Amino acid sequence: KQFYCLLMSPVGESDLQAFMDELGAREPTEVEIRWLMDWFPCLTSALAYMHDQGVRHQDIKPSNIVHRGSQIFFTDFSSSSRFKIGHTTSTENPARTSAMYAAPEMLDYLQDDGTLSKHGRAADIFSLGCVFSEMATII
């Protein structure tokens, strides 16, 4: 099995989960609200770019997203997989994923007939939508 790494600089100040927990305990500043609003299209385009490069993250959740000031980054690609661009992106491998942010097909990967259900890029999009719904509750 091949492993892929993403080295990023600068290192994040905190992950999105910690940031949202902090904002949930106090009133967010106008700057922090602006950051959150700016992160919606940024994360969307970052995920589209990953998929365009043939990479599925497979474990998108707030603790796998870090920020440094207004910049935001996906991290922890340990569950990610590559696919050939122009081919179907479905796989039958059950990925390590966080149940709270997982698409339904990721949770129910063993079907009644004993075969594994297929999941693909749509599962990443579903997970990002779950993250977005949490972000929206703070704004």
CB 81 within 8 A of CB 93: yes
Torsion sign, CA atoms 108, 113, 114, 115: negative
Among residues 15, 21, 38, 59, the one annotated as catalytic is: 59
Query: CA-CA-CA-CA torsion for 61, 63, 41, 37, nearest 10 degrees?
Result: 120
Side chain identity at residue 128, one-letter code = L
DSSP 13-39: SEEHHHHHHHHHTSPPPHHHHHHHHHH
Verify whether residue 59 is a known catalytic residue.
yes
User: Annotated active-site positions, please?
Assistant: 59
